[in-house]
Amino acid sequence: MKNHLFYQGFAAAAMRSICLGLLLIAGAGTAQAEPGKPAHAIAMHGTPKYEPGFAHFGYVNADAPKGGALTIGVLGSFDSINPLIVKGVAARGVREHTLESLMGRSLDEPFSLYGLLAETIETDDERTYVEFTLNPEAKFSDGKTVTSEDVLFSWDLLKTKGRPNHRTYYGKVAKAEKVGERGVRFTFTNDVDREIPLIMGLMPILPKHAIDPETFEQTTLDAMIGSGPYMIDNVDPGGSITFRRNPDYWARDLGVKRGQDNFDTIRYEYFRDNNTLFEAFKKGLYDARPEDDPTRWATGYDFPAVKDGRVVLQEFETGVPKGMSAFVFNTRRAPFDDIRVRQALVRLFDFEWINRSLYYDLYSRTQSYFEGSELSAIGKPASDAEKTLLADWGDSVRDDVMDGTYGLPQTDGSGRDREGLRAALKLLKDAGFETKDGVLVSKTNGTPFNFEILVANKEQERLALTYGRTLKRAGITVSVRLVDAAQYERRRIAYDYDTIQNFWFESLSPGNEQLFYWSGDAAKTDGTRNYPGIDNPAVDAMISALLAARERPAFVDAVRALDRVLVSGAYVVPLFHLPKQWMARKATLGVPEETSLYGYVFETWWQKPQ
């Protein structure tokens, strides 16, 4: 059964291609770019790790052999090739293997980009503009040179006809112009932030000569031309897509690409349901399977290929935040507007019993909104800089969160933890509730304490029902309502719920999306991801501080301060996460010794010589 609590496996691979700055600090180089001068790289904060002319990234095998084939199993189907438009479901891999950006991302830094189609990048100290100079060797797969006109064409096309994120970000360009023979300069509007030059560096570049803007927004199964290492070789609509390595790929010897893109062919094979997908792997129909289901990991991998060594089970460490998966209280409604009620409901979640009973004790508890990274404040006393940031917001942070001693309450794992129940009932009594005939009621009007948990799938329903049984011991009645995807989304967008389950993905370079997640303005705007309805001036102030930070230490302090305020607010019941990435793969696949901060990266694997 697919576990929908976490974005793991192939979902994580997809995020790598569309999300920005998901990496942990790994040391700084000395190649600090001088403002207003061309540079080989740019870092969101501080300096890039790798010097000009670097040979390769540290998490690749620079001598990996070329050849062989990789087949990847995918759940679902597709009806389009173009991943840059809203219409249709795009086939996997087109953006990653075929369409390149001006700059390439390093996966062992917080957020640094290195020259790819553009050999240099230039910006000023305030980052009011960015200028790229194209590599004269850059070519599309049809042999035509990548030009400044292609860059300007791509920007204009995606700004007007691309996905919503493209239209939003690229719309912040006030002026776009060609500079010299190989340069392009983007001047920004006055309301942009310091991340925008990097976002422009990650813009996919399309061939002006091969795209009709009039039909760009329509779904298509025709192969797209790009400048990337692979070309689309074969498309079986809805069934599979195969990419073939371009033997004339122009960037194969650049440091940003060396040791990657090693297979002659990469094939994505689609399957309609999870059971069929797993059975296909057992039969050897595809080569590697990320696993995120604890039950299957614990009991399902006992088939012959594992026993005789043809399939290897491997765990990968990661250095990126685990994200926050949680039951979310809608604080726009009573009684969830009372922090004592929220604290009581957090206290009544019996993680130890649930983890053992449902998940083979394989999950770890999520304590922080930036769990598993240097950005987490849990277990760390506040620094002097954090104390300064929080000085005017003393009531917004618990003392134990401030001094680093806070941790979520633990139970005895029996499913009947009396100490936790007593602590929760005391909080609820202080909030104006009392128990009568086994039912928790308001002292004021005698109204029973009951609420609804809205869920979107069977896995969420199972967990919500289990939580509800624990709440019943406190006299709280919980109804769990499973609705179809369309109704769930309508109610979520309008904040029409008492409690939902949600997952917030977090990077190691959090930025403007934090306003969308937690700000007071977002709490009052339909369709944001501020599902708890957080309207806390201290949260807004910490987001402003992280957006204004220029150096990594100041940025980390600001994010940790934000984490302390969010944790102290008890806006959610934090759930759990997989401690590592789980992977089952054929033994014939080679994997680098050093793991990136993302964990596994298929682009760095290779076929072992027979």
pLDDT tens per residue, range 369-394? 999 999 999 999 999 999 999 999 98
Mean pLDDT (whole number) for 284-299? 95
pLDDT tens per residue, range 152-206? 999 999 999 998 889 988 999 999 999 999 999 999 999 878 889 999 999 999 9
Q: Which residue has the higher pLDDT, 540 or 23?
A: 540
Mean pLDDT (whole number) for 239-266? 98
pLDDT at site 2: 36
Interhelix angle 458-472/351-359, rounded to 10 degrees, is 140
Nearest to 375 by CA among 29, 173, 111: 111
pLDDT tens per residue, range 48-63? 999 999 999 999 999 9
| Residue type present at position 487 | Q
| Residue type present at position 313 | L
pLDDT tens per residue, range 470-502? 999 999 999 999 999 889 999 999 999 999 999
For the chain, give the mean pLDDT. Answer: 93
Could you give the CA distance from residue 540 to residue 560 in angstroms, rounded to a whole number? 14
pLDDT at site 32: 53
Mean pLDDT (whole number) for 70-86? 94
Rg of the chain, C-alpha, whole Å:
25
H-type alpha helices, 283-417? 294-299, 304-307, 339-347, 351-359, 384-389, 399-403
Asked if pLDDT for residue 305 goes beyond 60, the answer is yes
| Residue type present at position 597 | L
| Residue type present at position 270 | Y
pLDDT at site 193: 81
Q: How many CB atoms lie within 10 A of CB 238?
A: 15
- From residue 39, alpha-carbon distances to 20, 44, 236, 457 in Å are 20, 14, 43, 49
Asked if pLDDT for residue 336 goes beyond 60, the answer is yes
H-type alpha helices, 440-524? 458-472, 485-493, 513-518, 520-523
Q: Which two tokens stand for residue 263?
A: 């297979």
User: For the whole model, what pTM was predicted?
Assistant: 0.84
> Residue 466, SS3?
helix
% pLDDT > 70, the chain: 95
176: enclosing H helix or E strand: strand 173-179
CA angle 215, 216, 219 (to 5 degrees): 85
Q: Which residue has the higher pLDDT, 2 or 235?
A: 235
pLDDT at site 15: 37
Lowest mean pLDDT among 5-9, 352-356, 420-424, 486-490: 5-9
pLDDT at site 18: 33
Q: Which two tokens stand for residue 86?
A: 């809203």
Query: Quick one: pLDDT band at residue 21, thresholds 50, 70, 90?
Result: very low
Query: Quick one: pLDDT band at residue 68, thresholds 50, 70, 90?
Result: very high
| Residue type present at position 214 | E
pLDDT at site 486: 84
Residue the block writes with tokens 């957090």: 346
pLDDT tens per residue, range 422-467? 999 999 999 999 999 999 999 999 999 999 999 999 999 999 999 9
pLDDT at site 27: 33
pLDDT at site 159: 96
pLDDT at site 438: 94
Omega before residue 294 within 30° of 0, cis: no
Domains of the chain, each with CATH number or no CATH: 9-273+580-607 (3.40.190.10), 324-577 (3.10.105.10)
Nearest to 492 by CA among 484, 77, 82: 484
Query: Quick one: pLDDT band at residue 33, thresholds 50, 70, 90?
Result: low
Lowest mean pLDDT among 260-264, 283-287, 347-351, 392-396: 392-396
The burial class, CB within 10 Å (0-12 / 13-18 / 19+), for 311 is buried
Residue the block writes with tokens 């100041």: 554
